A and B are shown apart, each in its own frame.
Chain A
């Protein structure tokens, strides 16, 4: 069965600094990979997803993620963080249907002024 590890529980970055959130997955075949964000008082929102093709995926709000099969990783990046990016971020891996989706434990991002 698939699983996801987000090694960083909490990350603090300064506004304007670059960001990388780590995600490692375990899955036997080519996975479907997702990043979701939950801002305070909001539901989880899909940032981006990878199914196939170009391993560098662009998402909303200026985020991107790179699928690296050799490292079983799907790290999320943003070149310049804004204060509004403070939220909790979840990596997820899916299979053939949504029932099989597995989420990581989340990484909470704090943005310093």
Chain B
């Protein structure tokens, strides 16, 4: 069974440009999460989808970030326009259930974003 896959693995863009990150969750996982790790800091929650609906987007930093999950399968996270402080590693995770006791999170390798 394929795990969570993320693309691209690394993206280098200039300030002001746009980047779109993609996440393919494990097949059958309704729950999809985006996290971000800024250099040397903790991994922080960005948002949570249940199927195609945004369940919780309280962690999204600002309106330059847009996440979608059309059809409830893969998800995209667009940053437009990118700023220097957006640099970091963006992790995607999926789970069958929402609760930590029954819904183990399966993480992708992460997409490293570098904004110059």
Interface on A for B, CB 8 Å cutoff?
4, 9, 32, 34, 36, 41-46, 49, 51, 90, 92, 94-99, 101-106
Contacts and interface: CB of A to CB of B under 8 A. Distances in A.
Contact of B40 (A41, A43, A102, A105): A105
B38 to A, nearest CB: 10
A-B residue pairs, 8 tightest by C-beta: A94-B100, A44-B107, A103-B43, A43-B107, A32-B100, A105-B42, A43-B109, A99-B56
A26 B72 CA distance: 35
Given A32-B100, A32-B101, A43-B91, A99 B45 contact: yes
Contact of A105 (B41, B103, B110): B41
B108 A43 contact: yes
Contact of A99 (B41, B42, B55, B101): B55
Given A43-B91, A44-B91, A97 B43 contact: no
Contacts of B105: 44, 46, 98, 101
A99 B40 contact: no
Nearest to A91: B42
Given A92-B43, A101-B45, 10 more contacts: A34-B100, A42-B109, A43-B4, A43-B108, A44-B91, A44-B93, A98-B103, A99-B33, A99-B48, A103-B35
* Number of chain B interface residues as a range: 20 to 34
Contacts of A96: 99-100
Contacts of A102: 42, 45
A42 B107 CA distance: 9
21 contacts: A32-B101, A41-B109, A43-B3, A43-B107, A43-B109, A44-B43, A44-B105, A45-B107, A96-B99, A97-B99, A98-B48, A98-B93, A98-B99, A98-B100, A99-B33, A99-B48, A99-B55, A103-B42, A104-B42, A106-B42, A106-B43
Q: Which of A99, A102, A105 has the largest count of B CB atoms less than 10 A from its CB?
A: A99
